[in-house]
Structure 1
Amino acid sequence: MKNSIIAFATLLLLVACNKNESKTNLHITGNVKGLKEGTLFIQRYADSALVAIDSIKIDGNSAFESNIDLKSPEMLYLYLDRGVTNSLDNNIMFFAEPGNINIDTNLDSFITSAKITGSKNQELYEQYKKINSRFNDENLTLIEKKFKALKSNNTKAMDSINNLQDSNTKRKYLYATNFAVNNKNYEVAPYIALAEIYDINIKYLDTIQKSMTPKVANSFYGKKLTKYVKAIKETEKN
């Protein structure tokens, strides 16, 4: 009888554990080299503000882990509370998706040293950013030239630079559109449309929206893009 009671209690415990495990589908692990003490927060955007969905206390061991219930692939943030230090280098963006994701970085260069593995959407987003940075760098160069032309009152140079900036912006937006369409099977596609080129001509956003696979269209960002495109079309009708 005693053995039966123990066995029954063990069974209940296992069921309870399985229920708790089923509540989370994203396992985040990582290491912040050099971090001895502090707090890490997993954050997401909600109502136009970052809100914490988990916190990890670091006390001597720089390794960390977190378990999150993720309804759909989503851009999350790993925020480091440095305490008295007001550093801007304290929030790592990462495209989370169900499964196992690892984030390794260090205290001195928290964002720039971050290596994120385990997410296909993150991998694709990093590919996108690598090319997109070239357009951003070119625009910064043009801004510098524009400032010099303005300083010397060189209107001919100003007009030429303005044309180059317009061309650079068009190429940037066209690249983003093509990238999103070519990766229509992943949630990074609607995310790029919403976060990077939301002000592009509606026909391009419409193309991205219509190219999404059913799975992506039903995702968090897929639904947002569909709603956004619909709202723009209705506004243009009025």
Structure 2
Amino acid sequence: MKKIVALAILVLALACSKENTKKGNLHLVGNIDGLKQGKIYIQQLKDTSLINLDTIQFEGKSSFDTYLQLEEPQMLYIFLDRGQTKSIDNTLQFFAEPGVMKFETTLKEFYASARFTGSKNQKVYEEYQKIKNNIANDKIELVAKELKNLKTNNTSISEKIKADKDKLTIRKYLYTANFAVVNGKSEVAPYLALSEIPDANLKLLDTIQKSMSPQVAKSLYGKRLTQWIKERREIEK
């Protein structure tokens, strides 16, 4: 009888151990309304390649629940394999962090309807995206003017468009730098410096680096930014 009890305890312990291996410090709960068949891949950027952290198969149910292990806040990607179409809006990125996050969207508007909650860094990143989208819209208008001017090839208009493009680029760099400085306590700050304005003036990047909190400075993107500035200095000597 004692052997049976001991065996039962061992089996239970092994089962618990096996279950724990599936756990992680990020609990991601999601729903893709309208999706009945297909897969999503949750991916992480390693060096220059995306690697799969998890693969979730959908078979009649649009919701999912998974756990991921993150050492620290970072950008992750969700790729949707529709299995039938080759839509261009199949990839989403989100700023993940340990804790509970919720993801909701629709199959029809996978990219446009996407909503992530539960991450402070994601909230900061979305604030930046709003202004970035406004700048992108202004750029589209300038491109439209440029195409229209091809018919007449008016030199003065071409020069005006070029000047406006330069101003728009400066506006983006200054806004991004200012946003990163104001949000120095968020891992989003060094991420934006690296992903949006890596070729900015070193003084601008230095300002972002100095504004980072000690915790952010020790983070994945904080250390990368410090290293990037060091490399830039060596190149530009």
Give CA deviations for 1:121-173 in whole Å, capped at 9, x if unaligned. Answer: 11111110101111111111112112222331211111111111111111111
Aligned counterpart, 2:17: 16
Q: TM-score, normalised by structure 2?
A: 0.92
SS at match of 1:151: coil
Q: Give the superposition deviation at 1:192.
A: 0.6
| Residue identity opposite 1:138 in structure 2 | D
For 2:99 and 2:190, locate their aligned partners in 1 and report how far apart those are by CA, in whole Å: 21
Aligned counterpart, 2:182: 182
SS at match of 1:79: strand
| More displaced 10-residue stretch of structure 1: 60-69 or 8-17 | 8-17
Give CA deviations for 1:183-221 in whole Å, capped at 9, x if unaligned. Answer: 010100011111111121111111111211111111111
Aligned counterpart, 1:62: 62
Give CA deviations for 1:28-73 in whole Å, capped at 9, x if unaligned. Answer: 1100111111111101112312221110111111101221111121
For 1:211 and 1:131, locate their aligned partners in 2 and report how far apart those are by CA, in whole Å: 21
Give CA deviations for 1:81-106 in whole Å, capped at 9, x if unaligned. Answer: 11131111211111100111110111
Q: Matches of residues 195-234 of structure 1 in structure 2 within 5 Å? A: 195-234=195-234
For 1:197 and 1:62, locate their aligned partners in 2 and report how far apart those are by CA, in whole Å: 38
User: Is this contact kept in 2: 1:149–1:155, CA < 8 A?
Assistant: no
User: Is this contact kept in 2: 1:180–1:188, CA < 8 A?
Assistant: yes
SS at match of 1:24: coil
Percent of pairs with identical residues:
48
Q: TM-score, normalised by structure 1?
A: 0.92
For 2:212 and 2:15, locate their aligned partners in 1 and report how far apart those are by CA, in whole Å: 40
Instruction: Call closer, same or farther: CA 1:68–1:227 in 2, change over 3 Å.
Output: same
| Residue identity opposite 2:216 in structure 1 | V
- How many residue pairs end up in the alignment? 236
Segments of 5+ residues of structure 1 without an aligned counterpart are none
SS at match of 1:31: strand
Segments of 5+ residues of structure 2 without an aligned counterpart are none
Q: Give the superposition deviation at 1:19.
A: 5.3
Instruction: Call closer, same or farther: CA 1:202–1:67 in 2, change over 3 Å.
Output: same
